Structure 1
Amino acid sequence: MRRILPGIAALAAVATLGLAAPAQARQTEAAPQAAWGAAYFEFTDSGNDKFVFKLTDPAKIQHARDLLSGATTDRPSVIGTIVVGTAAYNPNWSYHYNPTTVDFFDVATEVCDAGIDYVEEHLSEVGGAFLPGNTWCPWSSQLVREVSAP
């Protein structure tokens, strides 16, 4: 019995270290992501209006930067949920994207497509038959540049 207990204790210690190491690795990997913070990008549409949106997800920030640099052409258009109200980084419009919902797409349903100015003109209708669920996916959206924080 005396020989078994030290063996079990050693196995428990090794198992604990084995579980702790991946957790430490996850923390180390997550640390650079937290340092990214927010990034702001501008896109244009077929009407040549410009719209600024905020990204907070590191993978989406990188995707936007890759689109701008030409490193990718996948999922070039912007989609997300719009919120009525101005944002400091997008002062020219009475609405903005909820930053946590912004993503990129190749193909989307027609029901969420509209131009920047058209959304502004019909803002009171957003969420009903026009842009159901407040989801906006301007098909002609094209990233133009990354902009400075307001």
Structure 2
Amino acid sequence: MRGEALETQVLLPPFVEKSSFDDLAGVLSFYEADLECSTCVVHEEYRRWNAKWTEVPEAARPAIDTLNQICPIIFPKMATLLQISAVLPVTTSSVERTFSVLRLLKTYQRSTMNEERLNGLTLMRIPPQVCVSPDEILDALALKPRRLDLVL
């Protein structure tokens, strides 16, 4: 799904002139039920959409405001595809969760911790996509003895 969602960007006015209808093949097959029409109808509408934005100077082509400027009566299928692409999530929260865990682990008191040990502790705290047991991580950490800095 993610690849098809990214392919909808060829409908945005800054990219439409440099793209072709073939670039939408994956999008059309994936969202076939939402469009409720044949490929020929979408192809003709895409041709008119492309012609509309080719006449506009490149500097005046909106990227963000396209959905507000589209007329759903004239371009119903393009409006549908742009609405679908507008509601798709841009990022995932898994990366944000990873940094939150790292912020909890890497406190001021633990700032002398070496990178390998920090990576091991971080992997233990992140919700696992891949099953890694704590024993495997502890075994990997036990391979190198830790040095303690004793200050007298």
Fold conserved (TM > 0.5)? no
Q: Which structure would you say has the larger Rg? A: 2
**TM bucket by the smaller chain?**
under 0.3
Higher share in strand = 1
The structure whose RCO (Cα within 8 Å, separation 6+) is larger is 1
TM-score where L is the length of structure 1: 0.26
